[in-house]
Amino acid sequence: MSRLGWFFGAVYDFLFPPLPVCRFCGARKETAESECEACRDEWATLKVKGKQKKPYACFYYDGVVKKAIWEYKYSRIEDLADFMAERIAEMLKSQKVKADVVSFVPLHRTKRKKRGFDQMQKVAEAVAAEMGLPAARTLKRVKRTRTQAKLTAENRKQNVKNAFVCDKNTKVSKESVIILLDDVYTTGATMSAATEALKSAGYAKVIPAVFATSKANQ
Ligand SMILES: [Zn+2]
């Protein structure tokens, strides 16, 4: 766009600010909330309620929840880290989860470089701050795995086998109770592989917690 075009565009936006859009579906909305009413209602119906089984989870991985995570992966909506962190901290508090440190299932280095940051690290830091706990990296992803979504349950297990090792630079003590965060839990293959890596390094107390879980797990 020419400089003049840019200038008139900026003036137009100033005079007629674009209507805010829902961060989950992109629909225009009238309220100050960051999501539209339809999405907010649907998120509410997908909330995991009552006492939980492992892993701890905020939402069922379905409908608008699934869509938002998917859209985020393909960079069509803004970063979900803050939203995920608020919901996860709120849920862990309501379930009265006690721990010493908040950690996360990391991305592989190449993926982190491509994206510029590790979303779950951001989530872990925000959840830790919210709960008054330290956040720490405990794992390293040493194998570049394929996207789990396209694989069968058995292939998922193979795909993430030996994908993680304990980060030898971690300062987390072996006695610590660790909350281990990930975004989605479906067959549990990734979370199991990550937990196993910590257990074989001597960490016995790992509490898995996720933003979204498939209905079959609860
Ligand atoms: Zn919406």
**pTM for this model (two decimals):** 0.85
Domain span including residue 56:
51-217
Residue 33 located in a structural domain: no
How many A from CA of 58 to the centre of ligand 1? Answer: 19
Residue 7 located in a structural domain: no
Contact 202, 90 (CB under 8 A): no
pLDDT at 125: 97
How many A from CA of 110 to the centre of ligand 1? Answer: 32
Structural tokens at position 3: 């400089």
How many A from CA of 71 to the centre of ligand 1? Answer: 12
Give the mean pLDDT of 187-194: 94
How many A from CA of 18 to the centre of ligand 1? Answer: 16
Structural tokens at position 42: 């649907």
* Whether the predicted pLDDT of 60 surpasses 80: yes
Contact 212, 66 (CB under 8 A): yes
Amino acid at residue number 90: E
How would DSSP label each residue in the chain? Answer: --HHHHHHHHHHHHHSPPPPB-TTT--B-SSSSSS-HHHHHHHHHTB--SS-PSSEEEEESSHHHHHHHHHHHTTSS---HHHHHHHHHHHHHHTT---SEEEE-PPPHHHHHHHSS-HHHHHHHHHHHHHT--B---EEE-S-PPPGGGS-HHHHHHHHTT-EEE-TT----TT--EEEEEEEESSSHHHHHHHHHHHHTT---EEEEEEEE-GGG-
> Considering its fold, how many domains does the chain have in total?
1
Residue 191 or residue 13, greater confidence: 191
Among 137, 187, 196, residue whose Cα is nearest residue 161 = 196
The CATH number linked to 95 is: 3.40.50
Average pLDDT, the chain: 88
* Whether the predicted pLDDT of 78 surpasses 80: no
Residue 24 located in a structural domain: no
* Whether the predicted pLDDT of 52 surpasses 80: yes
Cis peptide before 134 (omega within 30 of 0): no
Contact 128, 160 (CB under 8 A): no
How many A from CA of 19 to the centre of ligand 1? Answer: 13
Q: Give residues whose Cβ lies within 5 Å of ion ligand 1.
A: 22, 24-25, 27, 36, 39
Per-residue pLDDT of 95-133, as tens digits, reads 999 999 999 999 999 988 988 889 899 999 999 999 999
Radius of gyration of the chain (CA): 19
Residue 16 located in a structural domain: no
Residue 133 located in a structural domain: yes
How many A from CA of 45 to the centre of ligand 1? Answer: 14
Residue 74 located in a structural domain: yes
Q: Kindly give, in sequence order, each residue whose CB lies less than 8 Å from that of residue 3, ignoring residues fewer than 6 positions away.
A: none
pLDDT at 133: 98
* Whether the predicted pLDDT of 149 surpasses 80: no
Per-residue pLDDT of 16-33, as tens digits, reads 666 677 888 777 777 777
Residue 147 located in a structural domain: yes
How many A from CA of 36 to the centre of ligand 1? Answer: 4
Residue 129 located in a structural domain: yes
How many A from CA of 25 to the centre of ligand 1? Answer: 4
pLDDT at 10: 78
